[in-house]
Structure 1
Amino acid sequence: MGLRTVLHSVNEFLQNLSTPFVKTLDLPHLRTHFPLLVYSALGFTVTHVVVAPLLSKWIAPVSYGQLKGRKARNNW
């Protein structure tokens, strides 16, 4: 099973998952674009939680290392 087949299956699953919202909110085009919304949210979360802290530690180890607490690092 290739990557294309897996992505197609995931897209179909996400579209089927969105069907109740589409019908309730009467937004017919949402079903088509729902996988993109999910991928975007996932990409943002991974960037914010994993990539950004690693890059911050690498680019500015002294400044980033002096930040105390989760809120300060999040505001960085």
Structure 2
Amino acid sequence: MDYWHQEYTEVNLKHNTLLAYERAIRLQIKPALGKYRIRSLTAAILQTFVKDLYRKNYSKSSLEIFVCLVNNALKHAGHP
């Protein structure tokens, strides 16, 4: 996630978008998924991540952003 953020997003996105991504990665994504190796992430783990955020009353648009960030990082890393 850090590599993708530094190598891709910092080059291709605007400053405010970078700040929002960095915050989402630091506060939601890494605490929940940072303990997993990329190859060990499964659809069930990712669904639990989304469901846990939903239970914390995050908006649908926030959930979509978190999912998009994780998906883009995994695609960049070559994860199916």
TM range (shorter): under 0.3
Larger Rg: 1
More helix by share: 1
If asked which structure has higher relative contact order (CA below 8 Å, sep 6+), I would say: 2
The normalised TM-score by structure 2 is: 0.27
